[in-house]
C-alpha cells in the first residue's frame, strides 16, 4: 500500500512540475482566466456551438496571439499562419488532427500527421481535385445545379396565391452532397431528386461534430476508440443510416473500380486510382471528401445567398451585372460557365465578402512549434506548443477590412478609378487573407477549384432565376452552431421565379421559343 502511495505522490509531483513548466513557458501570452492551467475553458468553448464567436473575442481582448490552454495558443496573425503552413516550414500538425480520422480503421489526407505520407497523398490527389483528369467536371456540377433549380421550381416557389418556404441550409447541403458524390463516384446520392435525406446524414453530423471537438481537446483519449467494446458502436459500412451508410456507398463505389469487370471512368475516383491510391486509401479518402467537402461548400453557398438576398443594394447590383452580361453575350445558357463567372467583378466581390464574413471552417487546425522553439511577437515559444488558427478573427480584422468588418459590403473589394498605391496594396492584402479560408501552403485545400466552381455558377444562376426574401424575417434569419464546421437550420427563404426573358436574355429567349 505504501508503494502505491509513493507512486501516486511521485506521479502527482511530476504532473505538477509539468504544469508549472507549461505555464511558465507561455506566461507572457495573455488569455482567459484559468486557461494557463487547464483545458476546461477550451473544452467549454469548442463544444458550445459558438466557438467562432469566442475565438474572435479572445484575440480581440488579449492580442493577435493569445493563450487558450496550458500548451495551446490561438492566433489571427496572418503572417504567423503563413509561416506555419509554408512548404518548408518546420511546424508540424498537432495531435488535434488525429481527431479528424473519420474512417474507424484508417487515416486520411486530413488526419495524417506524418509529413511524408501527407505530401505523397497531396501529389497523388491534386490532379483529381483540379479537374485535369476529369474533363466532365464542370458538366457534372451543372447537372446538379439544374437538379437544384428543378427541385425549387417543383416544390418551393411562391407567388401571390401560395407560400412555399424552403430551408436554404437543407437544400444547399443536399446540393453539395450530390455534387461531391457525382464527381467523386460518377453517381450522385440523389438527395435533390428525392428531396430527402435517406442516409440520416444531417442528424448524424450534428452528433459527430461535437464528439470530434471533444477529442480535439483531449486527443490522448483517442486510444479509447480503438477498444473493441467501443468500436462496436462505430459507424459501419453495413449501417442503414448516417455516416455508416456513406461508408457503405463509398466502399461499393470503390470496389466497382477493381476486379475483372471493373469500371473505368475519367472522374475523380478514376484519377486517384490512376495515380496509385490503394483500394483501402480510396475508401478512406472518398469518405473525407463527402463530409469535409460538402459541409464547407454548403456553408459558403447558403451564407452567400442569404447575405446577397437580404441586402437590397448588393442584390440589385449583382442582378444588373448578370443581366448586362446576358445582353452582351458574355454569359452562356442554360448555365453560366465558370470562366465567365470569374470575369464578373461584382459577383466575385460578393463571393469574397461572404467568405470573409463567414469563413466556412472554424476548427483549430493547430500546428506544433518545432522542437527548438520559435519567437513570436518577440516572445520565445517552447517547442511542442500548439498554435491554432482563428479564421473568424483573421477575416474580421479591423486594421485590414475597416471599421465595419461585420457588415456585408462587397464594395470593399472594388477599387475606384482614383485608387492610390496604398489602396491597391491594401486590396492585395485583403485578397491574400480571404483566400486563406481555404488553407495555405502545404496545408491548402485541394478542393478549392471545385468549391469555387460551385460558388461561381450556383450563385449567379440563383440570382438570375429567382427573387428571394428571408422567410423568417430579418431579426433571426437562421439557427446556427459551430463545431469546426457550421451547422445551420431554419434558414427559411421565400422564393419567386423571375421572368424567363430576364433569365435567358431577351434575344436568346425569343430564339429559344421560336
Query: How far is 191 from 196, CA to CA, in rounded Å?
Result: 6
Contact of 84 with 367, CB cutoff 8 Å: yes
Quick one: residue 33, left, alpha or beta (phi over 0 = left, psi -120 to 50 = alpha)? Answer: beta
- Binding site for heme: what residues are annotated? 445
Query: How far is 266 from 272, CA to CA, in rounded Å?
Result: 10
Cβ-Cβ contacts under 8 Å for 281 (sequence gap 6 or more): 106, 121, 272
Which three three-digit cell numbers place residue 33?
482566466
Work out whether the CA dihedral 63, 54, 445, 435 comes out positive or negative: negative
Query: How far is 183 from 305, CA to CA, in rounded Å?
Result: 23
Which three three-digit cell numbers place residue 112?
495524417
Beta-bridge mates of residue 93: 367
Q: How many CB atoms are located within 10 Å of the residue 178 CB?
A: 24
Q: C-alpha 472: how far from its chain's center?
A: 25
Which three three-digit cell numbers place residue 24?
511558465
Quick one: residue 382, left, alpha or beta (phi over 0 = left, psi -120 to 50 = alpha)? Answer: beta
State the residue for C-alpha cell 501570452: 29
Burial 425-455 (b: 16+ CB within 10 A, else e): ebeeebeebbbbbbbbeebbbbbbbbbbbbb
Burial 392-401 (b: 16+ CB within 10 A, else e): bbbbbbeebb
DSSP 496: E
Length of the chain: 514
- Binding site: what residues are annotated? 445
Distances in Å between the Cα of 125 and the Cα atoms of 179, 255, 281, 361, 441 are 18, 18, 11, 21, 16
Give the closest residue to 388 by CA, choosing from 75, 44, 47: 75
Beta-bridge mates of residue 487: 481
Where are the extended beta strands (E) located within 59-202? 65-69, 72-75, 92-93, 166-167
Query: How far is 54 from 42, CA to CA, in rounded Å?
Result: 10
Query: How far is 43 from 407, CA to CA, in rounded Å?
Result: 30
Amino acid at each position: 500500500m505504501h508503494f502505491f502511495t509513493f507512486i501516486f505522490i511521485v506521479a502527482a509531483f511530476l504532473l505538477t512540475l509539468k504544469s508549472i513548466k507549461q505555464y511558465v513557458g507561455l506566461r507572457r501570452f495573455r488569455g482567459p482566466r484559468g486557461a494557463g492551467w487547464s483545458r476546461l475553458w477550451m473544452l467549454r468553448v469548442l463544444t458550445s456551438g459558438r466557438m467562432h464567436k469566442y475565438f474572435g473575442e479572445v484575440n480581440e481582448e488579449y492580442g493577435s496571439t493569445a493563450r487558450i490552454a496550458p500548451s495551446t495558443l490561438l492566433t489571427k496573425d496572418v503572417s504567423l499562419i503563413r509561416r506555419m503552413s509554408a512548404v518548408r516550414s518546420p511546424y508540424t500538425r498537432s495531435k488535434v488532427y488525429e481527431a479528424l480520422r473519420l474512417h474507424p480503421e484508417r487515416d486520411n489526407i486530413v488526419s495524417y500527421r506524418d509529413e511524408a505520407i501527407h505530401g505523397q497523398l497531396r501529389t497523388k490527389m491534386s490532379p483529381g481535385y483540379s479537374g485535369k483528369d476529369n474533363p466532365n467536371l464542370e458538366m457534372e456540377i451543372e447537372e446538379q445545379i439544374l437538379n437544384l433549380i428543378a427541385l425549387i421550381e417543383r416544390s418551393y416557389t411562391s407567388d401571390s396565391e401560395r407560400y412555399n418556404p424552403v430551408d436554404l441550409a437543407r437544400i444547399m447541403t443536399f446540393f453539395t452532397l450530390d455534387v461531391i458524390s457525382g464527381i467523386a463516384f460518377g453517381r450522385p446520392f440523389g438527395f435533390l431528386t428525392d428531396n430527402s435525406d435517406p442516409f440520416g446524414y444531417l442528424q448524424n453530423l450534428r452528433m459527430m461534430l461535437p464528439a470530434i471537438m471533444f477529442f480535439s481537446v483531449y486527443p490522448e483519449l483517442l486510444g479509447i476508440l480503438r477498444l473493441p467494446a467501443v468500436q462496436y458502436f462505430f459507424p459501419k459500412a453495413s449501417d442503414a443510416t448516417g455516416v455508416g451508410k456513406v461508408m457503405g456507398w463509398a466502399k461499393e463505389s470503390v470496389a466497382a473500380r477493381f476486379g475483372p469487370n471493373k469500371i473505368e471512368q475519367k472522374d475523380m475516383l478514376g484519377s486517384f486510382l490512376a495515380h496509385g491510391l490503394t483500394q483501402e486509401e480510396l475508401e478512406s479518402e472518398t469518405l473525407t471528401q463527402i463530409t469535409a467537402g460538402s459541409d464547407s461548400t454548403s456553408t459558403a453557398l447558403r451564407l452567400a445567398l442569404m447575405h446577397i438576398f437580404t441586402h437590397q443594394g448588393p442584390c440589385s447590383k449583382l442582378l444588373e451585372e448578370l443581366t448586362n452580361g446576358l445582353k452582351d453575350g458574355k454569359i452562356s445558357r442554360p448555365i453560366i460557365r465558370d470562366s465567365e463567372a470569374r470575369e464578373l467583378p461584382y459577383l466575385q466581390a460578393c463571393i469574397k465578402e461572404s467568405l470573409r464574413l463567414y469563413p466556412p471552417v472554424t476548427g483549430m487546425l493547430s500546428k506544433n512549434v518545432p522542437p527548438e522553439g520559435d519567437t513570436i511577437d518577440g516572445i520565445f515559444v517552447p517547442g511542442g506548443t500548439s498554435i491554432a488558427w482563428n479564421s473568424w478573427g483573421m477575416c474580421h480584422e479591423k486594421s485590414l477590412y475597416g471599421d465595419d468588418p461585420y457588415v456585408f459590403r462587397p464594395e470593399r473589394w472594388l477599387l475606384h478609378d482614383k485608387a492610390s498605391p496604398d489602396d491597391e496594396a491594401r486590396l492585395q492584402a485583403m485578397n491574400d487573407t480571404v483566400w486563406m479560408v481555404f488553407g495555405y501552403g502545404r496545408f491548402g485545400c485541394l478542393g478549392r477549384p471545385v468549391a469555387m466552381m460551385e460558388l461561381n455558377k450556383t450563385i449567379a444562376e440563383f440570382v438570375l432565376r429567382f427573387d428571394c426574401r428571408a422567410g423568417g424575417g430579418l431579426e433571426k434569419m437562421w439557427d446556427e452552431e459551430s463545431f469546426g464546421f457550421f451547422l445551420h437550420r431554419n434558414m427559411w427563404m421565400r422564393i419567386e421565379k423571375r421572368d424567363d426573358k430576364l433569365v435567358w436574355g431577351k434575344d436568346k429567349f425569343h430564339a429559344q421559343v421560336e
